[in-house]
Amino acid sequence: MDSMSAVVLAAGEGVRLRPLTRHRPKPMLPAANKPILAYVLDGLIEAGVSDITVVVGYGRTRVQDHFGPTYRNVPLTYVRQRKQLGSGHALLSVEQRFEDEEPFLVVYGDQILDSGIVRAVMEETTGDAAATIGVLDHNRVEHYGGVIMDDGRAVELVERPSDERKYRLNAGVYGFRSDIFEAIRNADPREGEHSLIDALSWLIESEATVRGTITDGLWVDATYPWDLLDVIRDLTEAGLLGASREERIDDSASVHETAVVRDPVVIGPDTEVGPGAVLGPYTSLGENVTVESGAVVEESLIDSDTRVGPNATLVDCITGQGVSIGPASTVPGGPGDVRIGDRVFERERLGAVIADRVRVGGGAVFEPGTMVGFDATVRTGARIDGPIAEGTEVR
């Protein structure tokens, strides 16, 4: 099939990525200086998608203001999901646009994928199948969604599978016909939410044909904050960040001749790197970032409008926007124990998450796994350990 329309589900917050998603949805978090959603749209367009509907909800103005009515000359239509009641509920909000028998694609707006996966699903979304699922061979299926296949058909979907059966990973790229809307309504909601997985399971149990298309290509889901540290590595290995250093450093950026850049490093527009600073490897600096003299930033994601003071050290660190880190402050890197909601994840590779508009004085030290909430203040010489609530002042 040469061209199809696509729906991008981009209405969710990304609760497990708080505090980074305190004021913007997960699809708008940066992945090497572009929002995650931009890579999703790139994958669709490069596969030949001609029309894209984006379902927005939480933080919708951040999405709409950034992308506008078109992206790479492809029209974008925005539909609002007023309450975030699951992926199935989000898809129901566009039902009127897809009432005929023409097939269409559905993807998630917070999972990076390449055009090869999309194209494979497009090519298989034909014939009498009610749905087609893109599946991958993946070594971490237990963290995501698994698909049991039999002779080209998906016969069972299991979220976070833990048994020893042969699972393939559900890549979250679907080809649907209008049957999916009936399936969403007929599947029993769980905890008040309607999910696409439950709708697909209902189709399978109803003996409808649900095809599984085995493909390969880049697929990245940043479920937790530390996953964002791996994104630049994945994008580099997939060749999506440019083959040379010159392609990865914006023309308007200024890097002092005595600074040390250990590739791969991505440097955004209007960013300044001072004398004797050390960057990389696997480091991303967003737009209008300042890294002052003698600072070290390694395997970190530094978002826009952030200032890293002289002789500061950031390892395995993620910052939000508008962060100020004082001179000689230190994030020594992981592993560390990280608290997400009621769960503690042990020995994750995370030095610290420092959310939007946090101000850090000089000489502060962050224990591995620290999470600092929006608009917090860390005073000079403070030692930070564990989660720090937004707006808190730490002395």
Where do runs of H (alpha helix) occur along the chain?
36-46, 60-67, 87-92, 115-124, 179-186, 196-205, 228-237, 245-248
CA distance 155 to 372: 44
Query: How large is the C-alpha radius of gyration of the chain?
Result: 22
Q: Please name which of 33, 6, 12 lies closest in space to residue 110, comparing C-alpha atoms.
A: 12
pLDDT of residue 84: 82
Please report the pLDDT score of residue 27 as a whole number: 94
Question: What is the DSSP-derived secondary structure letter of residue 197?
Answer: H
* Side chain identity, residue 237: E
Residue ranges in the chain modelled with pLDDT below 70: 1-2
What is the spatial distance between Cα 12 and Cα 18, in angstroms, rounded to a whole number? 12
Q: Which domains, and CATH codes, for the chain?
A: 5-221 (3.90.550.10), 245-394 (2.160.10.10)
Rounded CA-CA distance 114/239 in Å is 11
Residue 238 main-chain phi, psi, to 5 deg: -85, 0
Question: In the numeric block, which tokens belong to residue 22?
Answer: 């305190």
Q: Where are the beta strands (DSSP E) in 222-356?
A: 254-255, 260-261, 265-267, 272-273, 278-279, 283-285, 290-291, 296-298, 301-302, 307-308, 313-315, 317-319, 324-325, 330-331, 336-340, 343-348, 352-354
234: phi then psi, degrees, rounded to nearest 5: -65, -40
Q: With contact defined as beta carbons under 8 Å apart, do 54 and 109 qualify?
A: yes
HSE value, Cβ hemisphere, 13 Å, CA-based, for 321:
11
Tens digits of residue pLDDT in 17-31: 999 998 899 999 999
Q: What is the pTM of this model?
A: 0.91
Residues ≥6 apart with Cβ < 8 Å to 14: 20, 21, 25, 26, 27, 29, 110
pLDDT at 178: 85
Q: What mean pLDDT, rounded, does the chain reach?
A: 91
Q: Quick one: tokens of 180?
A: 């999916």
Res 2: pLDDT? 63
Residue with tokens 């679907």: 174
The values of phi and psi at residue 185, to 5°, are: -70, -30
